Amino acid sequence: MLKAKALSKYSGRVIAPLMSNFKESHGVDDFSNFGLNTLNGGNDEYTGETLFWSKQVGNIPQGNFIHHKYGNIQWNNMVHGNSRGAFYLSNGHYSSNSNDKSTRELPKKLLRNIPEFVKIVEVGPRDGLQNEKDIVPTAVKVKLIKLLVSSGLPVVEATSFVSPKWVPQLADAKDVMEAIRNVEGARFPVLTPNLKGFEAAVISGAKEVAIFASASESFSKSNINCSIEDSLIRYRDVALAARKLSIPVRGYISCVVGCPVEGMVSPSKLAYVAEQLCDMGCSEISLGDTIGVGTPGTVIPMLEAVLAVVPIDKLAVHFHDTYGQALSNILASLQMGISTVDSSVSGLGGCPYAKGASGNVATEDVVYMLNGLGVKTNVDLGKLMLAGEFICKHLGRLSGSKTATALSKTTIAYASKL
Partner 1 sequence: MIVSYLSTTMSSMEEPLGFDKLPSMRTIDRIQRFSATACRPSGEEMGMGNCWIEGMSCSTSNHYDEDHDEYTWEAFPWQRHTRDMSQGETFYRRTKSLGRNHMMFGNTHEKYNSKCNDKDIRNITNKFWKGIPRFVKIVEVGARDGLQNEKATVPTSVKVELIHRLVSCGLSVVEATSFVSPKWVPQLADAKDVMEGVRNLEGARLPVLTPNMKGFQAAVAAGAKEIAVFASASEAFSKSNINCSIEESLTRYRAVTQAAKELSIPVRGYVSCVVGCPVEGEIPPSKVAYVAKALHDMGCFEISLGDTIGVGTPGTVVPMLEAVMAVVPVEKLAVHFHDTYGQSLSNILISLQMGISIVDSSVAGLGGCPYAKGASGNVATEDVIYMLHGLGVQTNVDLTKLLSVGEFICKHLGHPSGSKTAVALSRVTADASKI
Q: Which of residues 31-50 bind partner 1 (CB under 8 A)?
A: none
Q: At how many degrees (to 10) do helices 64-79 and 363-373 cross? A: 50
* Closer to partner 1 by Cβ: residue 23 or 146: 23
* Closer to partner 1 by Cβ: residue 147 or 407: 407
| Residue 69 sits in the site that holds partner 1 (CB under 8 A) | yes
| Residue 62 sits in the site that holds partner 1 (CB under 8 A) | no
The least distance separating partner 1 from the CB of residue 184, rounded to whole angstroms, comes to 28
- Please pick, from the candidates 38, 74, 339, 344, the single residue that binds partner 1 as defined by CB under 8 A: 74
Distance CA 363, CA 376 (A): 14
| Residue 59 sits in the site that holds partner 1 (CB under 8 A) | no
Amino acid at 165: K
351 is catalytic: yes
- Please pick, from the candidates 57, 134, 244, 396, the single residue that binds partner 1 as defined by CB under 8 A: 57
* Closer to partner 1 by Cβ: residue 38 or 403: 403
From 142-150, 278-286, 366-374, 387-395, span contacting partner 1 (CB under 8 A): 366-374
The least distance separating partner 1 from the CB of residue 216, rounded to whole angstroms, comes to 11
318-339: burial string, b at 16+ Cβ within 10 Å, e else: bbbbbbebbbebbbbbbbbebb
Kindly identify the residues of this chain, within the stretch 169-188, that bind partner 1 according to CB under 8 A.
169
Distance CA 406, CA 412 (A): 12
Candidate list 255, 259, 278, 351, residue with the active-site label: 351
Distance CA 99, CA 184 (A): 54
- Please pick, from the candidates 12, 17, 137, 185, the single residue that binds partner 1 as defined by CB under 8 A: 17
Q: Is 156 helix (H, G, I), strand (E, B) or coil?
A: strand
The least distance separating partner 1 from the CB of residue 138, rounded to whole angstroms, comes to 18
Question: Quick one: which H or E segment has residue 385?
Answer: helix 381-395
Kindly identify the residues of this chain, within the stretch 270-329, that bind partner 1 according to CB under 8 A.
271, 290-298, 300-301, 304-305, 307-309, 321-325, 327-328
* Closer to partner 1 by Cβ: residue 390 or 414: 414
Residues 95-124, one symbol each (x = binds partner 1 by CB under 8 A, - = not), give x-xxxx--xx-xx-xxx-x-----------
| Residue 225 sits in the site that holds partner 1 (CB under 8 A) | yes
- Please pick, from the candidates 36, 118, 155, 191, the single residue that binds partner 1 as defined by CB under 8 A: 191
From 40-48, 178-186, 213-221, 239-247, span contacting partner 1 (CB under 8 A): 213-221
Distance CA 291, CA 289 (A): 6
Distance CA 125, CA 289 (A): 19
Q: What is the DSSP letter of 195?
A: H
Question: Quick one: which H or E segment has residue 1?
Answer: none
Cβ atoms of 382 and 371 within 8 Å: the answer is no
Amino acid at 276: Q
Cβ atoms of 71 and 415 within 8 Å: the answer is no
CA–CA–CA angle 389, 393, 396 (5° rounding) = 135
- Please pick, from the candidates 263, 313, 378, 397, the single residue that binds partner 1 as defined by CB under 8 A: 263
| Residue 232 sits in the site that holds partner 1 (CB under 8 A) | no
| Residue 390 sits in the site that holds partner 1 (CB under 8 A) | no
Q: What are phi and psi of 120, to 5 degrees?
A: -100, 130
Q: What is the DSSP letter of 128?
A: I
**Which of the residues are catalytic?**
351
